[in-house]
Amino acid sequence: MTAAPGGGRSGDGPAGAAARPRFAALLVFAALAWTTTAPAANLEIVGGLATDFHLFSQREYHGYRNGALGLVVSPGRWRGFGVEFRAEHLWGTIGLGEDQFPPGWDGTGPRTVTLDHWLAGILPLWRGTLWRGLEFEGGAGMTWLDRVILEDGSRWNFLLMAGLRWRFGGSEGPVAVGLRFEHISNGGDIGFTDASVIGLESVALSVAWRVGGG
């Protein structure tokens, strides 16, 4: 079954809470390791606040929000390319389809899931200038949930992103503001498990601040 992230009950309760600091520490360590091995790296902090917005998904989940904070590391020798190390929080309540079940569902309660989930991800991306300060960005990576959303899904999921933004002060300006479209799912949307597109999709208002680099 293709779905928004989630499946099983392995991440619920105290175990799921204990996993949060572990994957957050792993994310920070990976970002620091990449930074130290990337000579003349450009560093940028990216934050975003998003609402559900379905462009490709045929199974629309409504009523959730998400916020993300990431560090983009772009080695100077890789012009236009970089890697974003990111943490993300999902919240809200979503309704499910007839073939989808929330973890621990007893068959009598509402077929909904209340989101209060954290994600950690790595997103290789590319950016280019279209005109003056107008930039395009896009990437594909992986993200990991601290606990499950649906039965029989996956805590590992694909993360796809595309966006447009305006960099104030031209290509060397420190601040950029734009919109990002994101899709998170476990792969059925590209034919791995079935023909339908099912996933969490959102559009985010993003703000980026270049904090250093060579």
* Segments forming the whole domain that contains residue 27: 13-212
Asked whether residue 5 is assigned to any structural domain, the reply reads no
Mean pLDDT score across all residues of the chain: 80
Query: In the structure, what pLDDT confidence band is assigned to residue 188 with cuts at 50, 70 and 90?
Result: low
pLDDT: which is higher, 98 or 173: 173
Question: How many structural domains compose the chain?
Answer: 1
Average pLDDT, integer, range 14-18? 51
Average pLDDT, integer, range 17-33? 61
Average pLDDT, integer, range 53-81? 84
CATH number where 162 lies: 2.40.160.20
Average pLDDT, integer, range 65-88? 90
Asked whether residue 8 is assigned to any structural domain, the reply reads no
Asked whether residue 169 is assigned to any structural domain, the reply reads yes
Asked whether residue 190 is assigned to any structural domain, the reply reads yes
For tokens 């950690």, name the residue. Answer: 120
Asked whether residue 100 is assigned to any structural domain, the reply reads yes
Identify whether the C-beta of residue 6 lies closer than 8 Å to the C-beta of residue 193.
no
User: Strand 112-131 vs strand 134-145: parallel, antiparallel, or unpaired?
Assistant: antiparallel
Distance CA 123, CA 139 (A): 6
pTM exceeding the 0.85 threshold for the entire prediction: no
pLDDT at 139: 97
Average pLDDT, integer, range 27-44? 65
Stretch among 102-106, 132-136, 186-190 having the lowest mean pLDDT: 186-190
- Per-position b or e across 19-34, b if 16+ CB within 10 A of its CB: bbeebeeebeebbeeb
| Phi, psi angle pair for 25, to nearest 5° | -65, -40
User: Strand 200-212 vs strand 42-52: parallel, antiparallel, or unpaired?
Assistant: antiparallel
